[in-house]
Amino acid sequence: MPALRERLPAWLAAGHHGTMDWMEERADQRAVPAALWAETRSIVMLGMNAGPQTDPLELTRLKDRAAIAAYAQRRDYHDVIKGKLKELGGFLSARSGQPVKVFVDTAPVMEKPLAQAAGLGWQGKHTVLISREHGNWLMLGAIFARAELEPDTPETDHCGSCRRCIDICPTNAFPAPYRLDARRCIAYLTIEHHGPIPTEYRESIGNRVFGCDDCLAVCPWNKFAGAARETRLAARDDLAAPPLADLARLDDAGFRARFAGTPIKRTGRDRFLRNVLIAIGNSGDAALAEEAVAGLQEPDPVVRGAAVWACGRLLARERLHDLFDAHGRNEPEAHVREEWREATGLPMEANGPRET
Ligand code: B12
Ligand code: SF4
Ligand code: SF4
């Protein structure tokens, strides 16, 4: 498929993958499926509906609550889909007498263009695969087979003149239709990106603490979509709109207990807390300020930096200066010192005179 061979290197060369080095490391296998498994003759692409029960955009309006992407409000889809693929793969292998391999996301496979080639749907201007029957909430998986199978007809583009997904993106992550600069995407910033979230995107992140569904939620093709029917993909009530205050108080063990078996465990507690503190800073809710203050004592400097930013947005100047005296003056990390300087406007010389 020429699209695989040409577009991936162009995307990587533009640096649009950010720090997702794993996209680059096995790029040759990603671009050419036979490089992943030399015996591949056919690929069967499958999609499982993971549609949300409620409108994800509603969640982004609840400022004291966390918005979690629909796919992450439930059991990890990798586990659920892999089981199904193995079942189907076993059937295919038995019927054809040839071996198969199954992949869900974790292997270097370009699932969306392959799914388009298999006729499941097309890659919309938001780059996600859209099915005419199921909208854009399908999660994808692949079966590589040694058997020669009859190919389906590839799907064609039905976006037309629509550009709703491009226009709604809070961080302007599409340099052009069908092109995503992951470095600007909230899904990347909250899930994949380690380190401090660049200041320019923090406000636009709003209350999204894990992933983002905005460009998917506005797609008109979802009028044909239903909520996920697979019971193992049912959304968990406690992950629908959890209070930010509760999430800010999770220690390591609490984080693991709450998110075991869900995609959220991927970030670990500290990166998740960083996101929660950004959301708290965006809440405009003075009642959440003490959660931000508690974050100033976190051992991880990335979390402390996010806490400083949140304090700067929620607290009065006088209180902020007191906190600076207590925590900021002796801050060892350069980037957290910079956060203090931004938040207070005070110079960062250790033990320097207090300027009010
Ligand atoms: C890396 C990755 C990400 C990255 C980068 C996303 C991206 N668009 O590349 C980040 C972390 C940002 C991300 C976010 C999300 N992801 Co993701 N992600 C992946 C992963 C692992 C690889 C994708 C990839 O190969 N990207 C590389 C680029 C080069 O490929 P591309 O996306 O196809 O983009 C090119 C095409 O659009 C192409 N193109 C296609 N047609 C056309 C037409 C024209 C005219 C032009 C010019 C170009 C063009 O040009 C682009 C390059 O410039 C896949 C799983 C997999 N193994 O495939 C899941 C996957 C794509 N993600 C998925 C999901 C659900 C999401 C989120 C919705 C999660 C969330 N709610 O937060 C968001 C959606 C953000 C978005 N709008 O894409 C699903 C999508 C399911 C579907 N129906 O398509 C996948 C397939 C996982 C799965 N197994 O189901 N993801
Ligand atoms: S997931 Fe959100 S931030 Fe990422 S491209 Fe879509 S709308 Fe933009
Ligand atoms: S919102 Fe419009 S432009 Fe974007 S993917 Fe859906 S149909 Fe295409």
pLDDT average, residue stretch 70-89 = 91
Query: How many whole angstroms separate alpha carbon 335 and alpha carbon 322?
Result: 20
- Which of 26-30, 99-103, 199-203 has maximum average pLDDT? 199-203
For ligand 1, atom 54, the nearest C-alpha belongs to 105
pLDDT average, residue stretch 6-35 = 92
Q: Which of 42-56, 145-159, 291-305, 336-350 has the lowest mean pLDDT?
A: 336-350
Q: How many helices (H) and strands (E) does the chain have?
A: 18, 7
- Substitution site in 26, 46, 111, 158 for ligand 1 pocket (most atoms within 8 Å of beta carbon): 111
Q: Residue 355 — pLDDT band, cuts 50, 70, 90?
A: very low
Whether the predicted pLDDT of 111 surpasses 80: yes
CB neighbours (10 Å) of residue 51? 20
Whether the predicted pLDDT of 356 surpasses 50: no
* pLDDT value at residue 101: 94
Chain segment 150-179, per-residue pLDDT in tens: 999 999 999 999 999 999 999 999 999 999
For residue 60, give the 3-state DSSP assignment.
coil
- Regarding the beta carbon of 8 and ligand 1, being less than 6 Å apart is answered yes
Chain segment 190-207, per-residue pLDDT in tens: 999 999 999 999 999 999
* pLDDT value at residue 327: 96
Share of the chain above pLDDT 70, in %: 96
Whether the predicted pLDDT of 279 surpasses 80: yes
Q: Residue 6 — pLDDT band, cuts 50, 70, 90?
A: confident
For ligand 2, atom 8, the nearest C-alpha belongs to 169
Catalytic residue among 55, 76, 105, 167: 105
* pLDDT value at residue 353: 43
- Substitution site in 128, 130, 158, 159 for ligand 3 pocket (most atoms within 8 Å of beta carbon): 159
Q: What is the pTM (predicted TM-score) of this model?
A: 0.95
Whether the predicted pLDDT of 91 surpasses 70: yes
DSSP summary character for residue 243? B
Q: Alpha helices, DSSP H only, in the chain? A: 2-13, 21-25, 27-31, 33-36, 56-59, 77-96, 111-117, 164-168, 186-187, 199-205, 214-217, 244-248, 252-259, 268-283, 289-295, 301-314, 317-323, 334-344
Residues with Cβ within 8 Å of 120's Cβ and at least 6 positions away in sequence, in order, are 45, 46, 47, 129, 131, 138, 140, 155
pLDDT average, residue stretch 71-89 = 91
Q: Residue 78 — pLDDT band, cuts 50, 70, 90?
A: confident
Angle at 247 between CA 243 and CA 248, to 5 degrees: 110
Ligand minimally distant from the alpha carbon of residue 56? 1
On average, the pLDDT of the chain sits at: 93
Q: Residue 1 — pLDDT band, cuts 50, 70, 90?
A: low
219, 135 contact by CB (below 8 A): yes
